[in-house]
């Protein structure tokens, strides 16, 4: 009886939600103009206490059964990407008689391979099935990570890192696009932050794992144990991935038929997407994404903001070692800053979703990074504890900008196919990793003053760019409001239905700030 009552309630919620999926014209021209002038973005919001209850229950199931698994994969992705810096603190290049700059060269070539392929790889993932694709690429980079343990020459190291770049290229945009199918836009930033936080936590776990591996002893070098253990863990997770992750909310193995219908309907209402558009990817999606001014206006500043999380963090253990800590202890000392960075990220992302605001949260995160950089630059190297404190402040704000930018772009791109390509191209933010790998060269150690000063300047430029982007979107909304003011109700209704202007280009769509 209880099960029957629950199904009946869910069916009522589904019917109510279906009735709400109406053209935005029902709001009226005046209300649309006001929302555009005030940049007040809509999206799915439960309208009754009962609907809110089921909305939260559905999010809870996704939070329990989809999100944690994506987080786990990204955790291993972060470990596999950052372990080269950990290995170097244990004499990786010295043991193999390589130049100390070998890891900088390998990291640069990793990003050169990795970055251009991101939109292509994400598009392939959309075509073949994202959950299946995530399993394939994570298996491949897991095998390659393990193979680091048997590298003998710099050429072999470069080849392995470039191959990892090929397989990792599609992971982040594919996984973020995959998650965006399950959560309405103002539930998304916090979930992306939890997901992205795995990269920050990987830095902490990477330090702990490295600390343990470097004390194993035995016939292998400590860094060999590090690559073997982290690579094997990735392989194990990858084998489970395609069987655990559903293709989308409408086919989730842990939902009943009514819950699947409700999950699909709330996403249609949130994005104003057409029925069954969740899985499509058309040529128009690709072309519209390439032409999207919103993407190209924010991408340069996302690249600059990404120098800290994508570039600096790889060499963070070396910067800490430069304070005078031993190799193993240097890795251990990286743990607290990463943990704090993850906590700050989650707080900022939750606040961003709660207040339906992106710009100020990103700017506050960048401000913390700049303050941390200034502290590390001005404090003398001999003042170890204070300088370490500056690094803690720096890491506290490092991870904020990127995931909130992703949620921002996703919320401003309602069509799922176009959104996949947009997030793939936005993955070029990882170019910050190339800049970072060329900045933090061993010749600048142990204080790394010059790289830190350049990073501070570039982050400041990013701050200015994000501020300008805010006003660009605001101006676009006001332009749309003027267009709406000269249209009849019939013209507004036709605007919503026809495909002359696509998705977010429609005069009725409000860009979120």
List per-residue pLDDT tens for the chain, 513 residues long: 455 555 555 455 445 444 443 444 445 667 777 777 777 776 777 778 888 888 899 999 999 999 989 988 988 888 887 788 788 888 888 899 998 888 888 888 888 888 788 888 888 888 888 889 999 999 999 999 999 999 999 999 999 999 999 999 888 888 888 888 888 888 888 898 888 877 667 767 777 888 888 888 788 898 899 999 999 999 999 999 999 999 888 888 988 888 888 888 888 777 654 334 445 677 888 899 999 999 999 999 999 998 877 666 666 776 777 677 766 677 677 778 888 888 999 999 999 999 989 999 999 999 999 999 999 889 887 888 888 888 889 889 988 999 899 989 988 988 888 888 898 898 888 788 778 778 877 788 777 888 889 999 999 999 999 999 999 999 999 998 888 888 888 887 777 777 788 878 888 888 999
C-alpha radius of gyration, the chain, whole number: 24
Q: In the chain, how many domains are there?
A: 1
CA distances from 298 to 75, 156, 345, 415 (A): 27, 36, 20, 19
pLDDT at 144: 95
Distance CA 214, CA 192 (A): 33
- Whether residue 33 is contained in a domain is answered as no
- Whether residue 105 is contained in a domain is answered as yes
- Whether residue 310 is contained in a domain is answered as yes
HSE (side-chain half, CA atoms, 13 Å) at 410: 32
Distance CA 459, CA 468 (A): 14
**Residue 152's domain is classified under what CATH number?**
1.20.1250.20
pLDDT at 374: 93
375 CB contacts (<8 Å, ≥6 apart)?
Answer: 386, 387, 389, 390, 393, 394
Q: What is the domain range of residue 187?
A: 54-269+281-505
- Whether residue 16 is contained in a domain is answered as no
Is 276 buried (19+), middle (13-18) or exposed (0-12) by CB count in 10 A? exposed
pLDDT at 29: 67
Residue 121 in tokens: 């790889």
In 3D, which of 133, 118, 124 has the Cα closest to residue 173?
Answer: 118
Residue 330 in tokens: 């240097």
In 3D, which of 344, 85, 68 has the Cα closest to residue 206?
Answer: 85
- Whether residue 45 is contained in a domain is answered as no
- Whether residue 511 is contained in a domain is answered as no
Distance CA 172, CA 70 (A): 10
CA distances from 9 to 13, 79, 262, 320, 492 (A): 6, 44, 11, 56, 35
Distance CA 60, CA 54 (A): 9
First CA to last CA across the chain, in angstroms? 47
In 3D, which of 122, 181, 190 has the Cα closest to residue 407?
Answer: 190
Q: Which own/partner pairs from 272-280 qualify as long-range (CB within 8 Å, at least 24 positions apart)?
A: 272/24, 272/414, 272/496, 272/503, 272/509, 273/414, 273/415, 273/416, 277/415, 277/416, 277/417, 278/181, 278/248, 278/249, 278/250, 278/416, 279/247, 279/248, 279/416, 280/416, 280/417
**How is the chain split among helix, strand and coil, in percent rounded to 5?**
80, 0, 20
Considering the entire predicted model, what is its pTM?
0.79
Neighbours of 478 (CB within 10 A): 15
In 3D, which of 342, 401, 343 has the Cα closest to residue 367?
Answer: 401
- Whether residue 84 is contained in a domain is answered as yes
413 CB contacts (<8 Å, ≥6 apart)?
Answer: 292, 294, 419, 422, 503, 504
CA distances from 394 to 114, 308, 347, 400 (A): 26, 9, 16, 11
Instruction: Return the axis-axis angle of helices 154-168 and 130-147, rounded to nearest 10°.
Output: 170
220 CB contacts (<8 Å, ≥6 apart)?
Answer: 149, 228
């Amino acid at each position: 009886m209880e099960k029957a009552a629950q199904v009946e309630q869910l069916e009522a919620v589904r019917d109510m939600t279906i009735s709400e999926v109406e053209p935005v014209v029902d709001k009226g021209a005046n209300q649309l103009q006001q929302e555009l002038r005030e940049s007040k973005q809509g999206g799915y919001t439960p309208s009754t206490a009962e609907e809110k209850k089921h909305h939260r229950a559905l999010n809870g199931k996704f939070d329990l059964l989809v999100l944690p698994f994506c987080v786990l994969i990204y955790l291993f992705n972060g470990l596999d990407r950052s372990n080269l810096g950990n290995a170097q603190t244990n004499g990786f290049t010295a043991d193999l008689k390589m130049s100390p700059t070998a890891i900088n060269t390998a990291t640069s070539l990793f990003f050169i391979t990795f970055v251009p392929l991101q939109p292509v790889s994400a598009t392939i993932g959309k075509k073949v099935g994202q959950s299946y694709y995530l399993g394939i690429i994570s298996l491949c980079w897991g095998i390659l990570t393990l193979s680091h343990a048997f590298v003998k020459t710099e050429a072999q190291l470069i080849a392995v890192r470039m191959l990892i770049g090929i397989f990792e290229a599609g992971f982040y945009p594919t996984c973020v696009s995959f998650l965006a199918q399950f959560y309405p836009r103002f539930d998304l930033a916090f979930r992306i932050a939890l997901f992205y936080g795995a990269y920050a936590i990987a830095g902490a776990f990477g330090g702990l794992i490295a600390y343990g591996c470097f004390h194993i002893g035995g016939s292998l070098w400590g860094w060999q144990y590090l690559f073997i253990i982290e690579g094997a863990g990735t392989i194990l997770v990858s084998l489970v991935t395609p069987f655990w992750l559903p293709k989308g909310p409408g086919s989730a193995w842990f939902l009943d038929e009514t819950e699947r219908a409700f999950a699909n309907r709330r996403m249609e209402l949130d994005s104003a997407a057409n029925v069954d558009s969740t899985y499509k990817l058309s040529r128009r999606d690709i072309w519209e994404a390439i032409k999207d001014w919103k993407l190209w206006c924010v991408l340069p500043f996302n690249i600059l903001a990404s120098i800290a999380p994508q570039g600096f963090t790889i060499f963070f253990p070396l910067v800490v070692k430069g304070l005078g800590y031993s190799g193993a202890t240097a890795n251990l000392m990286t743990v607290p800053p990463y943990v704090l960075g993850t906590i700050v990220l989650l707080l900022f992302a939750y606040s961003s979703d709660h207040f339906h605001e992106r710009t100020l949260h990103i700017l506050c995160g960048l401000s913390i990074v700049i303050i941390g950089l200034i502290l590390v630059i001005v404090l003398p190297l001999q003042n170890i504890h204070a300088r370490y404190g500056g690094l803690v402040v720096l890491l506290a704000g490092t991870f904020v900008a990127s995931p909130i930018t992703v949620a921002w772009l996703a919320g401003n791109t309602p069509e799922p196919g176009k959104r996949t390509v947009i997030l793939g191209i936005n993955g070029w933010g990882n170019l910050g990793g190339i800049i970072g790998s060329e900045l933090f060269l061993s010749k600048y150690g142990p204080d790394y003053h010059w790289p830190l000063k350049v990073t501070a300047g570039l982050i400041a430029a990013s701050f200015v760019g994000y501020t300008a982007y805010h006003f660009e979107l605001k101006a676009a909304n006001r332009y749309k409001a003027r267009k709406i003011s000269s249209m009849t109700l019939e013209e507004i209704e036709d605007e919503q239905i026809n495909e002359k202007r696509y998705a977010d280009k429609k005069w009725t769509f409000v860009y979120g700030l």
